[in-house]
Structure 1
Amino acid sequence: MKIAAISAIALASLSQLVSGYAINGDGVNCRSGPGTSFGVVRTYSRGEDVTLSCQTEGESIKGDSLWGKTQDGCYVADWYVQTGTSNYVAGKCSESGGNTGNTGNTGGSGFCKNLNAASISLIKEFEGFVQSPSPDPIGLPTIGYGHLCQTKGCGEVSYGFPLTESTAESLLKGDIPSSVTLNDYQWGALVSWVFNVGCGNAQTSTLVSRLNAGENPNQVATEELPQWRMAGGQVMPGLVRRRAAEVKLFTTPSSSQAFPNCQ
């Protein structure tokens, strides 16, 4: 099966991401919101490239109030990003943190909610259930089943804390995108992978480029998914198990086309 429009599989529309901008400062903090009062999610080194999904107004840094949301789901001051202009180079972020032209990874009516039960169960098993905002194994603030907080205290989440398993599952389904031609098991496994590694990493991956080139999806998944087993520079046993489970799910035979099939 040839994969169409694979660039849209990510948690936000990958075709809208703008990449290749270098950080022009040393130890530049990327924060959970557009201001220095928000927590630090990660730190970039001088010359490191970042991908911007959208931009928004925030705290003024050296006279520049523009902030960009990067591939890591955090915000970096425009002053430290070498875009060549002080104006917008990516779409304006919505209030929920996504691009206003595309529903972001914090839910919305633009998503399909018809992942099959096996796919939902796989994501829930490996993400784990977190009732209130808490750092994950590498320090990123998450809640529910792997929802990466977009604002301080996960303020973009509309459900009350602590989450129940039911509201966490609703949040998970709201985080899942649409628009790719795959059977239900292939789509579910791919969503689990993108949900875990993020839009920016998926966009630039060999896995996606091979699918776009029309290679056999099962062969691509079998060869590429197991390579995504590291976090913080170390092989993580949990990621090894997750990738194996995703390959098994992806290669499960099915005649049911999941996407595009949004209701």
Structure 2
Amino acid sequence: MKFIAIASAFLASIVLTSAYPIQKASVINCRSSPSTSGKVVKTYKLNQDIKISCQATGIDVKGNTIWDRTMDGCYVSDYYVKTGKNGFVAKKCSGGDSKPNPKPTGTYCKGINARATKLIKSFESFVPQPSPDPSGFQTVGYGHKCQQEGCKEVKYKFPLTQATASALMSQDVAVHTACLAKLLKSNVKLNDNQWGALTSWVFNIGCGNLASSELTGRLNKGENPNKVIDSVFPNWRSSKGKILPGLKRRRDEEMRLAKVPSKKQAFPSCK
């Protein structure tokens, strides 16, 4: 009887494991860790069903920090899996999570100046309760993307005040400056206005898109930061092939901020 019970439980777990189709790309990489830098273990094709064994928090991909561990033992960004829900649909993986705020080597400026803070707030707007943004992602405060259903990871009480929303934004800014610092080499020199403009941009597009952008490679090769910003930022003002007025204004403001002269160095270290 004990054997039958165990076998029944095992079969039930298989039945309850739902399959979800791959979406938004013809081929998707399944990686060794929940990160865009993880080793590619295998690939899945568009509309191919995958079974999720558990989910982990990892590197941001187009606003989604959830990664799905498949029954093949590798990770796929949840952005590319049609689960029908903006949040966790399976249990959390035990261990092996890749934190979305990677710690860079060396010192760097975790924060941004008042100009950059004002810029981000003006475009993100204040949202006191978790609510879906235009793309359908749950957000709260000043552009904080919920990592759990109902933003349970946020330690502040809802509805947020502007003070608690600002504190939450400071935490999110540190995540994105850490991402920048990890990808940029120490030969890149940025003043606080350039650093703020880059942080606002990454805050908007996500760390995953930063990693795949030409911007980091060009900066690391020694190109002039403002020329690179002016060249790359305009490519990130559209959605589904259509230029959005709000994104255009944001890119223009970020490029304008980067050009404001400053003697205060922000990267590779605050001085």
TM range (shorter): 0.5 to 0.7
Aligned counterpart in structure 2 of residue 186 of structure 1, from 174, 189, 194: 194
- Cα shift at 1:251: 1.2
> What is the aligned-residue RMSD (CA, Å)?
3.2
What's the TM-score once normalised by structure 2's chain length?
0.65
Task: Tell whether the 8 Å contact from 1:138 to 1:231 is kept in structure 2 after alignment.
Answer: no
Counterpart in the other structure of 2:54: 65
In 2, distance between residues paired with 1:126 and 1:204?
Answer: 24
Tell me, yes or no, if the aligned pair for 1:132 and 1:161 is still in contact at 8 Å.
Answer: yes
Letter in 2 for 1:169: S
Q: Is the partner of 1:162 in helix, strand or coil?
A: coil
Q: CA deviation at 1:213?
A: 1.2
User: Quick one: distance in 1 between partners of 2:219 and 2:108?
Assistant: 22
Alignment of 1:23-42 (within 5 A): 27-28=21-22
Deviation, structure 1 residue 234: 2.6
Q: Is 1:53 the equivalent of 2:7?
A: no
Q: Does residue 251 of structure 1 match 2:249?
A: no
Higher RCO (Cα < 8 Å, 6 or more apart): 1
- The one-letter code of the counterpart of 1:216 is N
Q: Distance in 1 between matches of 2:152 and 2:103?
A: 17
Picking from 213, 217, 220, the partner of 1:212 is: 220
Structure 2 counterpart of 1:236, from 241, 244, 262: 244
1:161 aligns with 2:158: yes
In structure 1, distance between residues paired with 2:249 and 2:29: 30
Separation (CA, whole Å) in 2 of partners of 1:53 and 1:218: 29
**Which segments of 5 or more consecutive residues in structure 1 lack a partner in the other structure?**
1-24, 29-42, 56-60, 85-90, 105-109
Question: Residue 227 and residue 92 in structure 1: after superposition, are their counterparts in 2 closer, same or farther (change >3 A)?
Answer: same
1:140 is matched with which residue? Answer: 137
TM-score after normalising by structure 1: 0.67
**Which consecutive aligned stretches of 4+ in structure 1 deviate over 6 angstroms post-superposition?**
none
Of 113-122 and 143-152, the range deviating more from structure 2: 113-122
- Whole-Å separation in 1 of the counterparts to 2:72 and 2:241: 24
Distance of 2:72 and 2:246 partners within structure 1: 34
Question: What is the letter of the counterpart of residue 96 of structure 2?
Answer: K
Q: What is residue 87 of structure 1 aligned with on the other side?
A: none
Q: 1:79 to 1:260 in 2, by over 3 A?
A: same
Cα distance, 1:214 vs structure 2: 0.9
Summarize deviations over 1:92-116 as a string: whole Å, max 9, x none. Answer: 337xx636xx369xxxxx9855411
Equivalenced residues, count: 205
2:100 is matched with 98
Once residues 127 and 248 of structure 2 are traced to their aligned partners in structure 1, the CA distance between those partners, rounded to angstroms, is 21
Using the alignment, how far apart are the partners of 1:81 and 1:46 within structure 2?
Answer: 19
Quick check: which has more Rg, 1 or 2? 2
State yes or no: 1:171 paired with 2:168.
yes
Residues 123 and 62 of structure 1, relative CA distance in 2, 3 Å threshold: closer
AA at the equivalent of 1:205: S
Decide whether the 8 Å contact of 1:27 with 1:46 is kept in 2: no
SS at match of 2:70: helix
Rounded Cα–Cα distance in structure 1 between residues aligned with 2:228 and 2:160: 37
State the distance in 2 between where 1:80 and 1:217 align.
44
* Unmatched segments (≥5 aa) in structure 2: 1-18, 39-49, 76-94
